[in-house]
Chains A and B, each alone.
Chain A
Amino acid sequence: MTTLILAEHDNAALLGATARAVLAALEIGAPIHVLVAGHNATGIAQSAAKLEGVEKVLLIDHESLAHGAPEPVSEAVVAVAAAYSHLGAPATTYGKSIMPRVAALLGVMQVSEITKVLSAHSFERPVYAGAAIETVEATADKIVFTVRASAFDAVGEGGSAPVETVEFTPTMRTSRFVGRESAGGGGPDLASAKIVVSGGRALGSAEQFNAIIQPLAEKLGAAIGASRAAVDAGYAPNDWQVGQTGKVVAPDLYIAVGISGAIQHLAGMKNSKVIVAIDKDPDAPIFAVADYGLVADIFEAVPELTKAL
């Protein structure tokens, strides 16, 4: 038994979700190899080699892998799959685009977004937007899985695994990269931040969203999130959305400002360690999951909070 974790990177740096997927792999109990599939990705392989618990790093370097296109990347994973009992990746948009392809090419199901490893063959995962937790047993000789990063801590960086280069040439028809537009922001990454401050529709406008939420987030060194209602209303960009259809976060502290707490939002944040809700509606469902609830006008309470910190 050996586990292969597909490293997530943007061809400039190894991304944090990889170290969390490695921790999930450690709990499986088998030796861990990490695959870096990219172009001019030697530096990324060296970063992956430092992850604690990693026994070996495989580097597949090919120009077709420069933008992480799922067709050649999944082919690259399959090219080395024979040696592995378990193949996993973080359940980010990168991992989610690639791993089901890997599973299909290997003829097995994927166990999606595991939140707990019970044994090498048994995993917990949420279904129905987190309203139920399934225990799934996989008996195939290859187990393909994705890891919900917010459910696992990251491993440290004291390792020094060897890097082995693997030759690979893709054959599948593929999509072509045109361009990428980052959402900007510049604050900490939402998925891995220790503190998240999220705003909802009650903020009323993009201007007020920025004026109320940003200073508090800055003061706390927090990432900024948003409810779907706030995103749909144009107060915040898409990729700030926390929820079933956005990002799933589990920071130490989650501050929900002017968010009612629809099921779809709760699915994205209810595993946060401490939840604070500030809203003027005392009956808002968000208060049912909040450790500390403050019924107040957000336009007064939040600036006061920012100032007092």
Chain B
Amino acid sequence: MENAVKILVPVKRVLDANVAVRVKPDGTGVDLTNLRMSMNPFDEIAVEEAARLKEAGIVQTVTAVSIGPAQATDTLRAALAMGADDAILVKADGPVEPLAVAKILKALVETHQPDLVIMGKQAIDGDSGQVAQMLSALLGWPQATFASKVEMNGSIVRVTREVDGGLETIEMDLPAVISTDLRLNNPRRASLPSVMQAKKKPLEEIDAASLGVALEPTLRIASTLPPPGRKPGSRVESVSELIDKLKNEARVI
């Protein structure tokens, strides 16, 4: 029984964190044409944590799931190469809001019966930070957000969380939901053999529409614009000039 724990890891395909963001001139969104897409960095941390728990013999299977276009298959293959056993692509074109994502994940939890869901604390495109909490609430499971340490002991999971002002440790009975913070681990780089192996691992595709979740956005994005620029600054030559400027020009000290 101890070894029968199943983990579900949702992963999102997002604009690569190292690519400069270009806002479309007409204000309709961010231009993603021909730009490099990658797995959301917080999700990589979630996959890594799940893979480590499996390698430690604590977890039996790790299933990665992504909701999005056909290209999200690449993101799932990356998760499989990092150590996930199988993957599910929930096909959906166009953006899916966090609440709809949480409802889709809830449907998958009900069919696949994982004991633990581990996912990133936020996606670096929408910066919403909602899905883990929403899923936990919809399932009636306890949650541990912003995890920097996860220890499993039988059906109890102890999580250290990064909170304002320090760290908090909580315990949860499985099943439960965890969202990962940056310092939980350093995700591995998949080796070439594991990338090749990942191509043979099972990847199931299902249609988001088949899960009975409404996908139409409920929030309307009226515009997406670049942030207001700062007025150009100046160089100072010395510490005394800096102090003079801060006192007499900016008047902040």
Q: Mark A229-250, 1 if CB is under 8 A from B, else 0.
A: 0001000011100001101000
Listed stretches A22-30, A155-163, A284-292; interface member: A284-292
Contact A172/B145 with A96-B129, A104-B99, A126-B227 known, Cβ cut-off 8 Å:
no
How distant is the Cα of A127 from the Cα of B98 in the complex, in angstroms?
A: 14
Size category, B interface: 35 or more
Closest to A69 in B: B170
- Contact between chains at A133 and B162 (CB < 8 Å): no
- Contact between chains at B253 and A109 (CB < 8 Å): no
Closest to A71 in B: B142
Q: Mark B143-167, 1 if CB is under 8 A from A, else 0.
A: 1111010000000001101111111
Instruction: Determine the chain A residues whose CB is within 8 A of the CB of B23 once the complex forms.
Output: 131-132
Write the nearest CB–CB distance from A252 to chain B, whole angstroms: 5
* A-B interface contact total, Cβ < 8 Å: 248
Q: Mark A63-101, 1 if CB is under 8 A from B, else 0.
A: 000000111001000000000000000001110111111
- Contact between chains at B143 and A108 (CB < 8 Å): no
- Contact between chains at A93 and B143 (CB < 8 Å): no
Contact A93/B164 with A132-B21, A175-B144 known, Cβ cut-off 8 Å:
yes
How distant is the Cα of A97 from the Cα of B146 in the complex, in angstroms?
A: 9
Closest to A222 in B: B253
- Contact between chains at A239 and B166 (CB < 8 Å): yes
Instruction: Determine the chain B residues whose CB is within 8 A of the CB of A74 once the complex forms.
Output: 137
Q: Mark B225-244, 1 if CB is under 8 A from A, else 0.
A: 11100100111111110110
- Contact between chains at A292 and B233 (CB < 8 Å): yes
- Contact between chains at B148 and A110 (CB < 8 Å): no
- Contact between chains at B128 and A110 (CB < 8 Å): yes
User: B107 interface residue, CB < 8 Å from A?
Assistant: no
Contact residues, A1-25 vs B (CB, 8 A): 10
- Contact between chains at A174 and B142 (CB < 8 Å): yes
User: A301 interface residue, CB < 8 Å from B?
Assistant: yes
Please pick, from A136, A178, A264, A296, the residue contacting B170 in the complex, using a CB distance under 8 A.
Answer: A178
Listed stretches A53-61, A180-188, A201-209; interface member: A180-188
- Contact between chains at B169 and A104 (CB < 8 Å): no
How distant is the Cα of A139 from the Cα of B161 in the complex, in angstroms?
A: 34
Closest to B167 in A: A181
Which residues of A are at the interface with B, using a C-beta cutoff of 8 A? 10, 69-71, 74, 92-94, 96-105, 107-113, 122, 125-140, 172-184, 191, 195, 220, 228, 232, 237-239, 244-245, 247, 252-253, 263-264, 270, 273-276, 287, 289-296, 301, 304-305, 308-309
